[in-house]
Structure 1
Amino acid sequence: MIDVHCHLLPEVDDGPRTMEASLQLARRAVEEGVTSIVVTPHAYHPYFETQHHDITKEVAHLQQRLDEEQIPLTLYVGQEIRIFGELIDALESGEAHSLAGSRYVLVELPSQSLPAYTESLFFQLQAAGYVPVIAHPERNREFALHPEKLHHLVSAGALSQVTTSSLTGQFGRQVRELALTFISNGLSHIVASDAHNVEHRDFNWLAARQEVINELGEEMWQQQLRFTEAILADEPIAVNPPHLPEKNWRGRWKW
């Protein structure tokens, strides 16, 4: 499996604090069936000063350590970029990194809101040849209350990525149901771990796989795998038109 959202670098953000912790997390990834990881430390986030890090160099160093330890993982450079107005300039200058050098850009939104300029910025990103990938929309309060806003962005060409731990219920029943709802309605297209450590933010790939297969079917899971492969290959991802989620008579999301 390919993981396109993972905080594996040591001493950069809220991921592993030591190289040994990074290696431990990498070993866990292999146990979960992961073969490739796009390493995505936070960028332009108000709580993490990461801009002084040379991410390309640090990923190469971590890859060297994995090879020395005979941990069979292939690493790629990426970032989880907090949305900001100069995002395109940062990408074009090389100060910000897309996923594995592809057209796909992992964009993090504030957890409680949707900035007013989001639609305009996404349009500009696409006009410049990029595809915005919204990180963990199921954990965004605005999308939970108003899924039509996610529907609008996806209809205009954005993709979104659900977290494995959301599917397994780690963030609560409501987040789990919303994650499954977004996938089944074509509002989320990619599953990734957003793993930070083995203690509290693990990969949970095998459990998430079982959840998707049990609730939505094997083909839906295989689609997630194909889409992550397309990201690494920088190939276009063709998705079906999304549907606006509905609730049943009990007020719970239907999928």
Structure 2
Amino acid sequence: MFNLYPYLLFFLKKKNIPFKDLIPEGFVDIHSHLLPGIDDGVKTISQSAYIIESLEQMGVEKIITTPHVMQDVWPNTSSIIRDKLRTMQEALASLKLDKIPLLASAEYMMDDAFLKRIQVKDILPLYDSYVLVEMSTFSAPINLSEMIFQIKVAGYSPILAHPERYAFYHDDFSKYEDLKTSGFDFQLNLLSLSGHYGKKVQKVAVHLLKKGYIDFVGSDIHNYQHLHTIQKGFSPKLSALIEPILSKNCVFT
């Protein structure tokens, strides 16, 4: 008689653990794009409401959404972001979907406009002194050292969004150590761990986790596809790597 047990065991070992089963009490999502029409994230209030309700059902207890701020592409100001947030909060209240807080910060591209914002403190922090920043996918800022200096002089603590996605660092992991030494915290994209951006980015994400370089995680949800990818969760092996990091996000409660 044919023995199916080894094959069944193999299948069970490979089955993903749903993300809702990994989320700790007090978990805060600190990176998403859920203010409609403000960047490359959701386009409508209904899309945003659906994703927010889904995150609540998964166990997320607070959302700090982070629209892009990037000169010449998405030149959002603090007042624009606040106005969009207020509109979204009112819509959620009318839909009885305001059980979990929706707040807004920003994902700041480290460009010349950001440097000017830092100098005048026109910044929406994630929480306390934390500010979420990103680099171009093509190269690091030429004046990166000055950026870090100005951020710290202004009293902010920089969190680098999705370091695993910067391909120009992939062949020299010592650069990641340099970034950590210079004062960056690292925020991993859950989508990166799922393989959404490809095997290379996933491999780098795993490496950074194993090195202990990751401080926080974020969904970086822009749309329904991103939501459904994260809902599926991760393999047991990847879940074991990410689970200890998830509780660190509770500091933003």
What range describes the TM-score normalised by the shorter chain of this pair?
Answer: 0.7 to 0.9
Aligned to 1:82: 109
Name which one, 1 or 2, has greater alpha-carbon Rg. Answer: 2
- Give the letter for the 1:84 counterpart: D
| Match for residue 73 of structure 1 among 75, 92, 100 | 100
Bigger relative CO (Cα 8 Å, ≥ 6 apart): 2
- Give the letter for the 1:9 counterpart: L
Q: Would the aligned equivalents of 2:118 and 2:150 in 1 still touch at CA under 8 Å?
A: no
CA distance in 2, matches of 1:87, 1:158: 16
- Relative to structure 1, the CA distance from residue 207 to residue 129 in structure 2 (aligned partners, 3 Å threshold; closer, same or farther) is farther
- For residue 94 of structure 1, report the CA deviation from its aligned partner: 5.2
Q: State TM-score, norm by structure 2.
A: 0.80
CA distance in 2, matches of 1:120, 1:49: 22
- For residue 103 of structure 1, report the CA deviation from its aligned partner: 0.8
Aligned to 2:205: 179
Question: 2:121 matched to 1:99?
Answer: no
Question: 2:227 matched to 1:202?
Answer: yes
- Relative to structure 1, the CA distance from residue 93 to residue 229 in structure 2 (aligned partners, 3 Å threshold; closer, same or farther) is farther
CA distance in 2, matches of 1:106, 1:117: 18
| Match for residue 55 of structure 1 among 78, 81, 84 | 81
| Match for residue 243 of structure 2 among 221, 229, 232 | 221
CA distance in 2, matches of 1:203, 1:36: 19
CA distance in 2, matches of 1:45, 1:207: 35
Q: Would the aligned equivalents of 1:165 and 1:203 in 2 still touch at CA under 8 Å?
A: no
- Please give the per-residue CA displacement for 1:60-113, whole angstroms capped at 9, x wherever unaligned: 22122222212232112200000024535414645332214x211111100121
Q: Would the aligned equivalents of 1:82 and 1:108 in 2 still touch at CA under 8 Å?
A: yes
Aligned to 1:17: 43
CA distance in 2, matches of 1:176, 1:183: 11
CA distance in 1, matches of 2:120, 2:61: 30
Aligned residue for 2:31, secondary structure, equals strand
Aligned-residue Cα RMSD (Å) equals 2.3
Query: Which consecutive segments of 4 or more residues in structure 1 shift more than 6 A?
Result: none
Q: Identity, % of aligned pairs? A: 25
Counting only pairs closer than 5 Å after superposition, residues 111-130 of structure 1 correspond to structure 2 as 111-130=137-156
Q: Would the aligned equivalents of 2:35 and 2:85 in 1 still touch at CA under 8 Å?
A: yes
CA distance in 2, matches of 1:47, 1:88: 16
Higher helix share: 2
Aligned to 2:62: 36
- Provide the aligned length of Structure 1 versus Structure 2: 226
- Relative to structure 1, the CA distance from residue 162 to residue 176 in structure 2 (aligned partners, 3 Å threshold; closer, same or farther) is same
